[in-house]
Structure 1
């Protein structure tokens, strides 16, 4: 066995270096959207993860600088759509800082106001369970109230600041 040599981390670590480190871990991408005052509001997140089976909880991490989250969290329910391979352009629009994030997207709205992206491998109808400050982000726990899955759809993968596809072996 060899001894690992690690770079020490100090308070002045370059944020770009940390993003590169975090980018080594591939993740899925999800859209978090709701109907607010009759209009869809939403964003793309790559920090979506399962938390608990009982109760059914998932989490997303939102940058404290987000101007979308304060509006989005006012939605009665939040729709979480796990984005699929066909959603690369949709993901880019949902991540942009523009007013036309939903241009060209086929959307569905649940009876509770959760906005869901058509063609997603999974849909979750959620409510905000709790929010926890975590450095320059907020960890948001979402309680799942309803769901739908499409096992034929394949997820969109985000890795090293780019989109990838799963390859079956």
Structure 2
């Protein structure tokens, strides 16, 4: 596809307009040796049913992704609407993100499966593609399940957590 001769897109306008798209929130977890690592991620999506693939995007400036990628396996933890504080803890760079966080090994990869999440998707790394200032990560689903039916998803809309109507 060719590039149109269009004026440059203002980064602030880009962020403002795309902030009107509501996204769910996940935490991507893995093991770096025996040390659990993870980061908050709102750019997660299903990609393919056959084969079963998911995708997420990670900033090239991430300090956690370089600790996850070499192991080639990770778990996507889909957050519930009562897990905002958990998400905020995993959004902080350099902190001990797993301090006080209950987790167990995911069934196939052994990556940390966080307690209380809505669902999990246990994956092996399929491919990483360049995406400008991000990397596009594609994972092959090895196992998945719904863990809770008693809560809704944690949503991110217009720079805030919650339900879109709350942030209008």
Shared fold (TM-score, shorter chain, > 0.5): yes
Q: Is the 8 A contact 1:76 1:114 kept in 2?
A: no
Task: Please give the TM-score of this superposition, normalised by the length of structure 1.
Answer: 0.87
1:164 matches 2:162 = yes
* Matched-pair contact (CA < 8 Å) for 1:75–1:113: no
Q: Which residue of 2 aligns with 1:5?
A: none
> Is the CA contact 2:72–2:125 (under 8 Å) kept in the aligned structure 1?
no
Aligned CA distance change for structure 1 residues 120 and 9 (closer, same or farther; 3 Å): farther
Deviations 1:61-117 (A, max 9, x none): 011111111111123520110011121011111111123112232112125321111
Per-residue CA distance 1:16-56 (angstroms, 9 max, x = gap): 22111111000000000011111111101100001111111
Paired residue for 2:49? 53
Distance in 2 separating the partners of 1:24 and 1:166: 9
Moved more, 91-100 or 21-30: 91-100
- State how 1:101-112 maps to structure 2 within 5 Å: 101-110=97-106, 112=109
Residue 24 of structure 1 is aligned with which of 11, 20, 32?
A: 20
Residue 130 (structure 1) aligned with residue 116 (structure 2):
no
Q: Within 5 Å, give how 1:2-17 maps onto structure 2.
A: 10-11=7-8, 13-17=9-13
**Equivalent position of 1:148 in the other structure:** 145
